[in-house]
Structure 1
């Protein structure tokens, strides 16, 4: 079975940006795009109200996804585009739809005046329960935003891609997360920045050891651990330029800081079978809310 790139659509500006990002990604991967518009049934008393009657329901359940698919076909000639309109709770339906997808792409409203995402319950619920990679895209994200500025300092789709950024803990590296990031960098012919933020031992943090040589030794050990974790992947992807960066401090802050210069930020999420709550981890949660580039969350065991 051929996997597809799936984009969730609800008619909002952020979901339209997600569809466009998904279309570009589908072309990079030479895969079909499937646009999914989940129809959540309206309670019967509300359905009888003039503002949400049959004509309005038909508009949302038929016209918007159809017109969106037609627009994508025009802007991306040669891309195979399908659409479907299942009904149910959006988070549940999208997570189930993504089960057989290459990846799922969702939109998120940008925070007004502040870099980052506003991740709603549907987005968090889908990410927490999907077992395939999920990419979150901000409203207003354009193709040029993923590329380096041109000589005039203006981002342009004609220039090289900005780096892909991978957040990695060498103490617990997961192959699926690392491979997703290397593959994304290879498809974009761009640099992969592998970032590792680590914490000093508590006794050093609280001033019980102020030996700078000791700090430097810890830094060397952490850098060596990162290099060891990445080395097999350098051999597997010899054409990908890799930059390893290790520093003391918050891993989440580190990733957020560099996201403004990235085309994509890749983080992991450990799969938890508990159906209650949103279990995505504190680092991933922070990156989702504050990164200024699209964020790929790759589930792993």
Structure 2
């Protein structure tokens, strides 16, 4: 079976931005693009109401995927694109569809006046339950946003890609997340910035005076640990220029700040089969809501 890039489509501005990003990614990967339009049937009394009658239903189930598919073919010649209409609860259908996908791309509304995301219940549920990579794209995201400034100081799709940004926990690094980030940088012919946030031992919080020498030693240890984790990946991807940053403080804060200069942010999520709801981890949760670039959440064991 040929793997595909899948984009969730519902006709909203955020889903159309996701479709555009997914088309560009499909071209980078040399893979087909599938647009999945999920139609959630309305309860019978509502379905029979005049405002949501046969004409409106036909619009949502036929016109939106058709127009989106035609638009991709026009703007991205060479990308093999198809559309599929499925009925059911969007979070369940998209999670199921993602099982056979190379990655799933979803839209997320940009926060008014601030870069970042408003991650709705569907997006959160899909991210928390999908075991493959899921990319969240803001409404209004443009191809130029992924690229560096041109000589005139304007972002341009003709300029090189901005670097890929990877958030890495050296205490529990996972190959799946690291490889996704290196591969994304390689395909974009861009650099890779790796950020590791660290905090001092717990006893710092209990009134024990901070020792400047100890702090510096901890910083060196964290930086050395980061270098050691990345060493085999530098050898595997020798053409990817890597910049390492082991920084004191919140990893989420550092990633959100660095996302302003990134083409893509990559974070991990541990797979948990819990009956008590969705869990994506505090750092990933914060990055999803506040990053200024598309975010790839890569699940790992």
Q: Does the TM-score normalized on the shorter chain lie above 0.5?
A: yes
- Aligned partners of 2:247, 2:64: CA distance in 1, in Å? 47
Q: CA deviation at 1:177?
A: 0.3
Between the aligned partners of 1:241 and 1:200, the Cα distance in structure 2 is: 29
How many angstroms apart in 1 are the aligned matches of 2:4 and 2:115?
A: 30
Name the residue aligned to 1:228: 228
Alpha-carbon separation, structure 2, partners of 1:207 and 1:293: 39
CA deviation map 1:208-255 (0-9, x unaligned): 133211111000000000011110100000010001100110001110
What are the Cα deviations for residues 46-101 of structure 1, in whole angstroms up to 9, with x where unaligned? 01111100110000011110110011001111110011011100001001100010
Q: Which residue of 2 aligns with 1:257?
A: 257
1:185-222: CA deviation from partner (whole Å, max 9, x where unpaired):
00001010010000111223455133211111000000
1:260 is paired with a residue of what secondary structure? helix
Does the aligned pair in 2 maintain the 1:21–1:137 contact within 8 Å? yes
Deviation at residue 273 of structure 1 after TM alignment: 1.2
Q: Give distance in 1, aligned partners of 2:115 and 2:136.
A: 14
Contact kept, 8 Å, 1:203 with 1:209, in 2: the verdict is no
CA–CA distance in structure 2, aligned partners of residues 204 and 214 of structure 1: 11
Aligned to 1:6: 6
CA–CA separation in structure 2 for the residues paired with 1:52 and 1:180? 43
Shift of the 269–73 alpha-carbon distance from structure 1 to 2, 3 Å rule, reads same
Cα deviation, 1:128-182, whole Å, max 9, x if unaligned, reads 1111100000000000000001111110000010010000011101000000000
C-alpha separation between the residues in 1 aligned to 2:71 and 2:208?
63
Report SS of the residue matched to 1:85.
Answer: strand
1:296 aligns to what?
Answer: 296
**Secondary structure of the equivalent of 2:87?**
coil
The number of residue pairs the alignment matches comes to: 301
User: Where in structure 1 are there 5+ consecutive unaligned residues?
Assistant: none
Instruction: Tell me the distance in 2 between the aligned counterparts of 1:5 and 1:275.
Output: 29
Higher alpha-carbon deviation: 268-277 or 24-33:
268-277
Counterpart Cα distance in 1 of 2:75 and 2:138? 20
CA distance in 2, matches of 1:2, 1:209: 59
Secondary structure in structure 1 of the residue aligned to 2:3: coil
TM-score by length of 2: 0.99
Q: What residue is the counterpart of 2:171 in the other structure?
A: 171
1-side partners of 2:272 and 2:207: how far apart? 37
Q: List 4+ stretches of structure 1 deviating above 6 A.
A: none
> Is 1:33–1:80's contact at 8 Å kept on the other side of the alignment?
yes
- What residue in structure 2 maps to residue 208 of structure 1? 208
Instruction: Give 1:277's aligned residue.
Output: 277
Instruction: Determine the C-alpha separation between the residues in 2 that align with 1:187 and 1:209.
Output: 48
With the length of structure 1 as denominator, give the TM-score of the two structures: 0.99
Q: Tell me the residue number matched to 2:194.
A: 194
Q: Which residue is 1:141 aligned to? A: 141
Question: What are the residue-to-residue correspondences of 1:67-146 with 2, within 5 Å?
Answer: 67-146=67-146
* 3-state SS, counterpart of residue 37 of structure 1: strand
User: CA 1:8 to 1:167, structure 2 compared with 1: closer, same or farther past 3 Å?
Assistant: same
Q: Is the 8 A contact 1:163 1:190 kept in 2?
A: yes
- Give the corresponding residue for 2:64: 64
